[in-house]
Amino acid sequence: MRKIVKRIALVDGKRTEYALDGEGTPAVVLINGSGGPIEGWHKVYHTLAEKTAVFAYNRPGIGNSAKADGPQDGETIAAALRGALAAARVRPPYVLVGHSLGGLYANLYARLHPEEIAGVVLLEASHPGDLAIDEMQSGAVRGANKLLRWMDALTGRRKWHETNDVAETAAQIARAGAFPDVPLVVVSGGKRPPMMPEAVYAVRRDNQTDLARLSARGRQIVAAGSGHFPQFTEPALVVSAIEGCLEEARLNGSRPSQPGELKPF
């Protein structure tokens, strides 16, 4: 596996681990799912860096990033990401790529800072409506999830873990402005998870289709051979989806930053 070179930036005095490679604009910003490290992008990162600048990072408590010291709702995470991009001097516009829970953060960031967004790729992304899915799961799955949450609360190890703030993040998306009129690609896995009932999967599938309606320029791609991690199982398809969004953004007039020019944050 080709190594991803990582660096450290201080964002509001807190250590944030990130990787940056390639040149060009718009920059591609890779946003991990819950608990996902930078290395989770290893099958697509270097290929994308041949096309443009690519940024990936570890959120609090992952890799060498500092542990969280407060609630990790979407607005907090979006602000920290914006700070990390500024510290790394990665200028907008951006093509945001959000996997799983990272898709919620990409969704919110695009609404909060539409002037910085050239395009969005949602990769097996969470939908605010997915919150209702847990109640549709089997009793065994619900029980296991409840036990895990109880153990986390008992040990205190995940007191500030972002999964505790998903409902608040979804509420923030509902309160934020409209999703911007930018190219949008939704990549959805075509394989049903083994323990997910068909009725639950149908809701999840409908939610994925709904995500593509966020923008008039939205479209959906089904990764037929993948479950929740198309970047592992079908990396060429994921790269193609991101590159397609990137090229459409360029055709729509994303202007390269000039040397020495720092666009306002």
pLDDT of residue 131: 84
Closest CA to 207 of 133, 153, 130, 265: 130
Higher pLDDT, 142 or 264: 142
- Please tell me the predicted confidence (pLDDT) of residue 50: 97
Sheet holding 54-57, edge to edge: 6-11, 14-21, 54-57, 27-31, 94-99, 117-123, 184-189, 218-223
pLDDT-derived band of residue 159, with 50, 70 and 90 as boundaries? low
Give the per-residue pLDDT at 145.
Answer: 45
Model confidence band, residue 32 (pLDDT cutoffs 50, 70, 90): very high
pLDDT digits 0-9 by tens, 73-96 = 999 999 999 999 999 999 999 999
The architecture CATH gives domain 6-251? 3-Layer(aba) Sandwich (3.40)
Helix or strand holding residue 188 (H, E): strand 184-189
How many residues are recorded in the chain?
265
Give the model's pLDDT for residue 200.
Answer: 85
Percent of the chain predicted with pLDDT > 70: 85
CA 246 to chain centre: 16
- Residue in the block written with tokens 């500030």: 160
Determine the pLDDT at residue 211: 98
Tell which wins on pLDDT, 161 or 92.
Answer: 92
209-258 tens-digit pLDDT = 999 999 999 999 999 999 999 999 999 999 999 999 999 999 987 543 33
Q: How many angstroms separate the CA atoms of 34 and 92, rounded?
A: 24
pLDDT of residue 264: 32
